[in-house]
Each structure stands twice: as structure tokens, then as C-alpha cells.
């Protein structure tokens, strides 16, 4: 029961904590005229740009900064120019220029991600997953996914897209200590549950999956295997970490703005024409009518750039993660998966129970200018607050904070979390470290 003096008008059903923040803003922002709204919005954008783009150190795993060339080709006015159907037979006449984007983006994405066909029209990976569930399963079918504590995404689970499609969700057997699917139990599990779809790939991916082994078990059970590469797409684009489509995933889904470093949105890539055609129909006219074609310009440019620079970028992201994990461990943090060498991706997970859980620890770091999030850890009991902090090195890599700067990052984090130093004293040092960044990748 919420015991606030006033309930939020935006979301009176939200948590007490959220309603406190909302009501504070609702009273500060109420009654503005149009000029007042413009000022409030401009101030908010300026503050956000300073914090994330100019001053802070962003270790949040699910974000990135686009390259200068990709940013330069994003033309906002294209977003409100509706575009429906294939080039050559558009519902709207006169869109021949956009046809170039709509041809380049899928060709470049398919080639880069190791496939033959790419569906690039969907606005988010959540919708990409829903399109696949629509294409490959019917309501009432079973979908087998990674447990939430192992990074299984909301869009894989009953509260998200899988539930919206009316699928019955079962958790894949998982070996928490090994940070891996339990392959000893997988084949019998799939034979028993008979899922139409198996989804692997997660929001925390310290290590690659054994895709070939999962595919073999899927074949026995008649399941379509989806690899959700939302977080690791930038590594895969760099021909590092693993090759899901070459190793047997039927379909790869991905966010285009996390390690991939492109515009917000999604791609669905496959080598199979029949699966691609089904996905295409689910995307349009299934889940989109008009879509934001402006995304496709930075997407095509990002894909073309990664075809050239991806290997060096992926190597640097992974080297940064290993360096940061080692430095965090040396600074007194408990880094997850220590017995396994912490990570072979760009992700690092840190145990956060000692700091009041992942959310609490992330808030303390944000006060000092370091931005990231909490994450559940595979070993933790279900329903508990997130026991870990999740780190991704993709953005610091792009911004020129390489492996040699990771001890300094770990030191800032230790001052904020382990030594409990006043964030106001640490923040200037965060900004100074960010300002000292070298040439990015």
C-alpha cells in the first residue's frame, strides 16, 4: 500500500519509490506553456548529453555511442515519411531514394552477421523476438528459454513477448556454477517438453553457448533454434566470440544499438529462405505498417564500418573486459565466474550483495558519474533483488578508454562502493578520467 501524500498522475499504480520521483516532477513541470515545455525539454536533453555523452563513464551494457559517420547520416525528417512494401511496389509513390537504404541495410546486415537474409524493419529486439514467435509457433505451443537469473530476457518470458504470443514458457536446464546450459540434461528435457522454439542468448553473456550441441538437441525435438544476440552482436560482427548461424542457430535476433553500436532497432538474420519469408510476413504486414526508415541509413553505415573495423573493435572490447575484471578483483570486488576466468566477452558481472544489491550499487556509482545497471546472477534464488552489477565495455572502448585505463575505472568504483567515499569528491576524478580518453575505436 502506497503511503504518499499525493499519488502520481502519470502512474498511480507504480512503486512508492517511482511515485515519489514522478510526483516531484509532476509538480515542478505542471502548468507550463509551450515555451516552458520547450525550455524544460532542452534543459533535460542538455543535462543528459553532458552526463552521458560528454562527462560520465558509461559502463551500461545495453547502450553505445554511434560512430560519427553513422550519426551524420541520421536524418530525422525521414522518420515521418511513411514507407510501406518492397522497393518497386511501394504503397507510396516517389520513395525511390529510400529504396537505396532499404536494399543496402538488409544486404549489409545479412553479410556481416553470417547469414543470407536480414529483416531490419522492426523497431526493437523485443519486436524481433515477437516476430519470430509469430512466424515459428502458434498460441499454446511451448517455448524453452534461459532462466531470468541466467539473463533470459523479458521478451523470452511469460510477462513479455512470449506471453503475448500465448506461448507456454519453460526454463532450459541451467548449470549456475558453470554459467552455461546444462547439456547433460538438455536432450531429455527437450524430448519431454517438445518446444516449438528454443531461445538462447541472454542479457548477461560472459561466455559463448555451445550452439552446435543445442541445435542437435533441437533437431531431435523438432524445435526452431533462435540465438538472441542483442548484447553480443558487435562481437559477432567482428568475427569474435562465436558464430551462431554457422554453428547451427536457425535464426539470429539482435538489438542494433548495444555492442553493435548502431541506431536503436533490431535485425533478424538467417540463412534459410523459408524461415526468412515467414519472419518477413510477421514483420510486415504483421507487426508494422509504416516503419522508421531513417534508422536504415545509420544501420547500413554501421554495418559497413564494422565489416572493416569490427575485428579490432571486438578484440578491444574483450580485452577491456578482462582488464577491468582483473582490476576489480584486485580492488577488492567479488567478480562473478572467477573460477572460469571471469569473462570471454565484453561483459563483466560483479557480486553486489555487499552493497545492498545491484540496483543500490548502480545508484551509488551514478552519483559518482559512472553509469551501469544491476543484473540477476545465475546462482541467486528466484524473486530476490538483483545480486549483481553488469558491466559492458563497448562504449568506453569506442570512446577511447582502453584496457590500460581499466585499473583507474576500477579504482573509482572501489572508492564509491567499497570505501564509501562521498560521490561529490569522486565525481571530478571520474570526469577527469573520461576527459583523458585517447582515440576511440
Ligand X SMILES: *Cc1c(COP(=O)(O)O)cnc(C)c1O
231 counts as binding ligand X under rule CB under 6 A: yes
Place of cell 543535462: 47
Listed residue (377, 340, 343, 372) closest to 359, CA to CA? 372
Pick from 8, 63, 83, 230: which binds ligand X (CB under 6 A)? 230
The nearer residue to ligand X, 266 or 389, going by C-beta atoms, is 266
Pick from 124, 290, 309, 329: which binds ligand X (CB under 6 A)? 124
Pick from 23, 64, 83, 126: which binds ligand X (CB under 6 A)? 126
121 counts as binding ligand X under rule CB under 6 A: no
The nearer residue to ligand X, 148 or 411, going by C-beta atoms, is 148
The nearer residue to ligand X, 26 or 52, going by C-beta atoms, is 52
The nearer residue to ligand X, 202 or 225, going by C-beta atoms, is 202
Pick from 228, 292, 305, 395: which binds ligand X (CB under 6 A)? 228
10, 22 Cβ separation under 8 angstroms? yes
Q: Is 67 helix (H, G, I), strand (E, B) or coil?
A: coil
Cα atoms in the 13 Å half-sphere on the side-chain side of 426: 25
Element (H, E) at 383: none
DSSP string, 169-204: EEEPPEETTTTEE-TTTHHHHHHHH--SEEEE--S-
153 counts as binding ligand X under rule CB under 6 A: yes
Task: Kindly state the cell numbers that stand for 153.
Answer: 530476457
The nearer residue to ligand X, 228 or 351, going by C-beta atoms, is 228
CB of 440 to ligand X, least distance (A): 23
CB of 312 to ligand X, least distance (A): 24
390 counts as binding ligand X under rule CB under 6 A: no
Q: Which of residues 23-82 bind ligand X (CB under 6 A)?
A: 62
CA–CA distance, 108 with 111 (Å, rounded to integer): 5
Q: Which stretch binds ligand X (CB under 6 A): 83-91, 195-203, 213-221, 380-388?
A: 195-203
49 DSSP 8-state letter: I
Cα atoms in the 13 Å half-sphere on the side-chain side of 310: 25
CA–CA distance, 40 with 111 (Å, rounded to integer): 43
> What is the crossing angle of helices 96-112 and 296-330, to 10°?
30
Phi and psi torsions of 293, nearest 5°: -70, -15
Q: Is 349 helix (H, G, I), strand (E, B) or coil?
A: strand
CA–CA distance, 347 with 397 (Å, rounded to integer): 12
CB of 126 to ligand X, least distance (A): 3
Pick from 65, 134, 155, 380: which binds ligand X (CB under 6 A)? 155
391 counts as binding ligand X under rule CB under 6 A: no
CB of 415 to ligand X, least distance (A): 29
Q: Which stretch binds ligand X (CB under 6 A): 118-126, 232-240, 364-372, 432-440?
A: 118-126
Q: Which stretch binds ligand X (CB under 6 A): 120-128, 182-190, 244-252, 358-366?
A: 120-128
Q: Cα-Cα-Cα-Cα dihedral of 36, 10, 130, 79, to 10°?
A: -10
Residue 353, beta-bridge partner list: none
Count residues binding ligand X (CB under 6 A). Answer: 14
Pick from 242, 255, 270, 393: which binds ligand X (CB under 6 A)? 255
CA–CA distance, 163 with 143 (Å, rounded to integer): 10
CB of 63 to ligand X, least distance (A): 10
CA–CA distance, 47 with 196 (Å, rounded to integer): 47
CB of 151 to ligand X, least distance (A): 7
CA–CA distance, 76 with 361 (Å, rounded to integer): 36
CB of 117 to ligand X, least distance (A): 20
The nearer residue to ligand X, 202 or 396, going by C-beta atoms, is 202
Binding flags for ligand X, 196-215, as an x/- string (CB under 6 A): -----xxx------------
CB of 199 to ligand X, least distance (A): 9
CB of 384 to ligand X, least distance (A): 20
Q: Is 350 helix (H, G, I), strand (E, B) or coil?
A: strand
φ/ψ bin of 88: left (φ > 0), alpha (ψ from -120 to 50), beta (otherwise) = left
**Residues contributing to the site for ligand X (CB under 6 A):** 62, 124-126, 153, 155, 201-203, 228, 230-231, 255, 266
Amino acid at each position: 500500500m502506497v503511503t504518499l501524500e499525493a499519488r502520481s498522475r502519470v502512474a498511480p499504480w507504480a512503486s512508492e519509490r517511482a511515485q515519489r520521483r514522478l510526483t516531484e516532477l509532476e509538480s515542478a513541470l505542471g502548468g507550463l506553456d509551450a515555451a516552458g515545455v520547450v525550455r524544460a525539454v532542452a534543459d533535460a536533453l542538455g543535462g543528459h548529453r553532458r552526463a552521458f555523452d560528454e562527462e560520465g563513464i558509461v559502463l551500461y551494457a545495453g547502450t553505445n555511442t554511434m560512430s560519427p559517420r553513422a550519426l551524420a547520416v541520421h536524418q530525422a525528417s525521414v522518420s515521418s515519411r511513411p514507407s510501406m512494401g518492397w522497393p518497386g511496389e511501394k504503397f507510396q509513390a516517389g520513395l525511390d531514394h529510400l529504396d537505396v537504404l532499404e536494399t543496402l541495410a538488409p544486404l549489409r546486415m545479412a553479410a556481416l552477421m553470417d547469414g543470407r537474409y536480414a529483416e531490419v524493419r522492426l523497431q526493437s529486439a523485443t519486436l524481433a523476438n515477437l516476430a519470430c514467435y509469430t512466424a515459428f509457433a502458434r498460441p499454446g505451443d511451448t517455448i524453452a528459454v534461459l532462466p531470468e537469473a541466467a539473463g533470459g530476457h523479458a521478451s523470452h518470458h511469460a510477462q513479455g513477448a512470449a506471453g503475448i504470443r500465448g506461448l507456454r514458457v519453460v526454463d532450459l536446464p541451467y548449470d549456475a556454477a558453470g554459467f552455461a546450459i546444462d547439456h547433460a540434461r538438455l536432450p531429455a528435457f527437450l524430448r519431454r517438453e517438445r518446444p516449438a522454439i528454443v531461445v538462447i542468448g541472454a542479457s548477461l553473456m560472459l561466455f559463448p553457448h555451445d550452439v552446435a550441441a543445442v541445435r542437435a538437441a533441437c533437431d531431435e525435438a523438432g524445435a526452431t533454434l533462435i540465438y538472441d544476440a542483442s548484447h553480443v552482436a558487435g562481437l559477432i560482427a567482428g568475427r569474435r566470440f562465436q558464430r551462431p548461424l554457422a554453428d547451427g542457430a536457425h535464426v539470429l535476433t539482435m538489438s542494433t544499438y548495444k555492442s553493435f553500436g548502431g541506431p536503436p532497432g533490431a535485425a533478424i538474420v538467417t540463412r534459410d529462405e523459408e524461415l526468412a519469408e515467414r519472419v518477413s510476413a510477421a514483420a510486415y504486414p504483421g507487426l508494422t505498417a509504416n516503419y522508421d526508415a531513417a534508422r536504415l541509413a545509420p544501420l547500413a553505415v554501421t554495418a559497413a564500418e564494422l565489416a572493416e573495423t569490427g575485428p579490432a573493435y571486438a578484440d578491444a572490447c574483450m580485452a577491456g573486459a578482462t582488464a577491468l575484471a582483473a582490476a576489480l578483483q584486485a580492488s577488492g570486488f567479488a567478480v562473478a565466474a572467477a573460477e572460469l576466468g571471469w569473462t570471454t566477452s565484453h561483459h563483466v558481472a560483479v557480486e553486489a550483495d555487499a552493497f545492498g544489491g545491484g540496483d543500490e550499487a548502480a545508484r551509488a556509482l551514478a552519483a559518482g558519474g559512472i553509469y551501469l545497471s544491476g543484473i540477476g546472477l545465475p546462482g541467486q534464488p528466484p524473486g530476490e533483488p538483483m545480486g549483481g552489477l553488469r558491466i559492458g565495455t563497448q562504449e568506453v572502448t569506442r570512446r577511447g578508454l582502453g584496457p590500460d585505463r581499466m585499473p583507474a575505472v576500477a579504482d573509482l568504483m572501489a572508492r564509491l562502493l567499497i570505501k564509501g567515499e562521498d560521490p561529490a569528491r569522486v565525481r571530478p576524478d571520474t570526469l577527469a578520467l573520461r576527459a583523458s580518453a585517447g582515440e576511440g575505436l
